[in-house]
Amino acid sequence: MAIITSAETIDIRFPTSLEADGSDAMNPDGDYSASYVVLHTDGLDAAGQPLAGYGITFTIGRGNDIVCMAAREIVNRLIGRDVDQMVADMGGTYLSLCSDSQLRWLGPEKGVVHLALSAVMNAAWDLAGRLAGKPVWRLLADMTPEQLVDIADLRYLADVLPRERALEILRKAEPGKAERIADLEAKGYPAYTTAAGWLGYSDEKMLRIIAEQEQLGFTAVKLKVGANLADDIRRCRKAREAIGPDRPLMIDANQVWDVPTAIEWVNALKEFDLRWIEEPTSPDDILGHRKVREGVAPIGIATGEHCHNRVMFKQFLEAGAIDYCQIDAGRLASLNEILAVLLLAAHFEVPVCPHAGGVGLCEMVHHASMLDYVAVSGSYEGRITEYVDNLHEHFVHPVRVAGGRYQVTGDAGYNTEILTASIEEFRFPDGSYWAAARS
């Protein structure tokens, strides 16, 4: 029997703005950051090591301290809890952390308090996986449909996804689970890369990286667009010429357009046979996305990295506003809410293609995609998960990608533990990197 004895919240910031990694039309100079939560216990994990849980949400710099402050307020509620009891009722654990009505007022279920809840529950899930000695995708995939619906946050979804319908989806995926697990272990989950497409990169750098990525097995390419139409036309043309007519090419505007502009701009790029336009406009504009979808067909609409909770995904899906559902593992409140969105997407037959990159998002979303494949949708069709080869060196158990696919790592937990040396260097503002930068 173990107890959660203490918790840490740590503001970690990487100076990515120096290299224009991650630059897009909305976010020209992000410093990729982690609001990092550590749950300490007095117990041991399945391997006999001190048991702890490590959770992340991702931000792009300023304000990371604000999320850490909110996470501290939330995580304090876990201190003193019995680990076995917490892990045996992860649905109840999640609800107990949502139930502070005073903090709820600050969202509800959105913005800083929801990002902070994500970091805390991600740490709880990492702890649960380590205690069981399993990757979290496998911990969940091994559960019964009834156990899974008790974990999924189905609040406010009853009009489209009542509990019985959620059970039906999960039961339908039961046959073939073992075969799909074996398939994942042999081949991995399909990925694409945004490595070449950042707006701050020169055409030469873009083409060089596209060629490098092809060598690594990545067949799809995504470019950031939206700052200058002539540039976008030139870059799309060069990318399409480089990859040939058959490979998928996607574009991403990071919310810079209003609806009429989105329709006009995307139609000006139509000749390049685009699979999707990502984040064409405000992430709150459900009906606007539907208008863009109608205005640029057959180009698909992808969004979700800023879609703040399952209720918003319900809108996008029910309104017929999106073709690809891009969940974010740091913005949705952990696997409890991700599972609800996987179920909603399966109900509406829309493929889930998670957002990744940043810090730790690839580490987390490969679990979400593997869970979707094994236990929810049961399919790869139309599905492809983002991968960015950036900052993985700071993780104790980084994701592995080979042949253009996320591999099963076999590591227990959520792959979200950051190396102590990296924390010492990039903790803000007192890590060695930032102390030196100020002097």
279 vs 417, which CB is nearer to its own copies? 279
Q: Other CB atoms closer than 10 Å to residue 101's CB: what's the count?
A: 8
Is the Cβ–Cβ distance between 251 and 269 less than 8 Å? yes
Using CB under 8 A, which of 37, 103, 191, 325 touches its own copies? Answer: 103
Number of residues that bind its own copies (CB under 8 A): 61
Residue 163 CA to residue 260 CA, distance in Å, equals 39
383 touches its own copies by CB under 8 A: no
107 touches its own copies by CB under 8 A: yes
Shortest Å, Cβ 38 to its own copies: 20
Shortest Å, Cβ 25 to its own copies: 10
165 touches its own copies by CB under 8 A: no
> Which are the contacts of 70, defined by CB distance < 8 A and separation ≥ 6?
103, 106, 112, 113, 115, 116
CA-based nearest residue to 189, from 141, 142, 132: 141
- Which of the ranges 134-142, 155-163, 194-202, 426-434 carries the binding residues for its own copies, by CB under 8 A? 155-163
Residue 7 CA to residue 192 CA, distance in Å, equals 35
| Upstream peptide bond of 108 is cis (omega within 30 degrees of 0) | yes
Binding mask 315-344 for its own copies (x = CB under 8 A): x--xx-------------------------
Map the footprint of its own copies across residues 284-303, applying CB under 8 A: 284-288, 291
191 vs 312, which CB is nearer to its own copies? 312
- Which of the ranges 85-93, 311-319, 390-398, 427-435 carries the binding residues for its own copies, by CB under 8 A? 311-319
379 touches its own copies by CB under 8 A: no
- Which of the ranges 48-56, 236-244, 252-260, 420-428 carries the binding residues for its own copies, by CB under 8 A? 252-260
Using CB under 8 A, which of 100, 150, 273, 425 touches its own copies? Answer: 100
**Residue 355 annotated in active site:** yes
Using CB under 8 A, which of 3, 8, 89, 155 touches its own copies? Answer: 155
Using CB under 8 A, which of 91, 111, 145, 217 touches its own copies? Answer: 111
Catalytic residue among 355, 392, 394, 397: 355
261 touches its own copies by CB under 8 A: yes
**Residue 222 annotated in active site:** no
Residue 199 CA to residue 26 CA, distance in Å, equals 10
286 vs 353, which CB is nearer to its own copies? 286
67 touches its own copies by CB under 8 A: yes
114 vs 138, which CB is nearer to its own copies? 114
Using CB under 8 A, which of 27, 219, 379, 409 touches its own copies? Answer: 27
309 touches its own copies by CB under 8 A: yes
24 vs 372, which CB is nearer to its own copies? 24
State the residues that interact with its own copies by CB under 8 A: 26-31, 59-63, 65-67, 69-70, 73, 100-115, 155-159, 255, 258-261, 281-288, 291, 306, 308-309, 311-312, 314-315, 318-319
Active site residues: 224, 355
